[in-house]
Chain A
């Protein structure tokens, strides 16, 4: 027991450092897990929030024992978490201000289906309702 205490005393706050680094990298991993494994598409605010908590723990670890490695961890992890905040903020979309209004007829249009045939607002009439999904992807 005494040996264990000596080891802990030799590296005060080291567990805080490890947990902090873990939290900082957990967000991006969680985002990949949710997106590609669970197929859940939500704004990943949890990543920078977890990362910020991680930075706080690393700073706390630094107050327990100052070393060049802990200073380096603070700088690197802070930059990494700043990037995690930047991503969702930069990906914000403006509110819709177009002419589609609930309770109003769908505006007139004339475009093409993937097979090249015509598709207009008249094709929205009939015995089915329509979910129209606009997506960004290019192959």
Chain B
């Protein structure tokens, strides 16, 4: 949850850029509600039916700590039309974009001309 904590801490920076952060996992509603309470400025999606992760092929079957399905760590920037402007897939499970790197990607790919 370190990644979400960083994004939550930079909430105002995203708001200045008219950008919201949507955090998606395949957790059920109960777990997702806990996540939402922990990170109130993020929009938390409970994709327990895998409808979103299957639609864009970011499910990692059996890769969870106890062999459960999990979402592959991925960051996607979508503009308001909604067109995809940027996709980041780390090469390693332990690697993530920092909040500063996400903000830089927003500035580069979603800047209003």
Determine whether the beta carbon of B24 is less than 8 Å from that of A139. no
Determine whether the beta carbon of B73 is less than 8 Å from that of A93. yes
- Name A residues whose Cβ lies closer than 8 Å to a Cβ of B: 35-36, 39-44, 88, 91-93, 95-116, 119, 121, 124-139
Determine whether the beta carbon of B71 is less than 8 Å from that of A136. yes
B contacts with A: majority SS: mixed
Residues in A with CB closer than 8 Å to B86 are 102
The CA-CA distance from A138 to B71 in the complex, in Å, is 11
Interface residues on B, range: 35 or more
Determine whether the beta carbon of A93 is less than 8 Å from that of B93. yes
Determine whether the beta carbon of A42 is less than 8 Å from that of B94. yes
Point out the residue from A91, A113, A128, A129 that lies within 8 Å of B45, measured CB to CB.
Answer: A113
The CA-CA distance from A36 to B95 in the complex, in Å, is 14
Point out the residue from B19, B22, B98 that lies within 8 Å of A41, measured CB to CB.
Answer: B98
Residue in chain A with minimal CB distance to B14? A131
Determine whether the beta carbon of B32 is less than 8 Å from that of A114. yes
Point out the residue from B4, B91, B102, B106 that lies within 8 Å of A135, measured CB to CB.
Answer: B4
Residue in chain B with minimal CB distance to A124? B82
Residues in B with CB closer than 8 Å to A44 are 94
Residues in B with CB closer than 8 Å to A138 are 25, 27, 31, 64-65, 68, 70
- Name B residues whose Cβ lies closer than 8 Å to a Cβ of A: 1-7, 14, 17-25, 27, 29, 31-36, 43-49, 51-53, 55-58, 60, 63-65, 68, 70-87, 89-96, 98, 102, 106, 110
Determine whether the beta carbon of A136 is less than 8 Å from that of B98. no
Determine whether the beta carbon of A133 is less than 8 Å from that of B95. no
Residues in B with CB closer than 8 Å to A93 are 60, 72-73, 89-93
Determine whether the beta carbon of B33 is less than 8 Å from that of A43. no
Residues in A with CB closer than 8 Å to B20 are 128-131
Determine whether the beta carbon of A107 is less than 8 Å from that of B56. yes
Determine whether the beta carbon of B46 is less than 8 Å from that of A113. yes
Residues in B with CB closer than 8 Å to A40 are 98
19 CB < 8 A contacts A-B: A36-B2, A41-B96, A42-B95, A43-B90, A93-B60, A98-B57, A100-B76, A102-B85, A109-B52, A111-B52, A112-B45, A113-B43, A124-B82, A131-B20, A131-B21, A134-B58, A134-B73, A137-B1, A139-B34
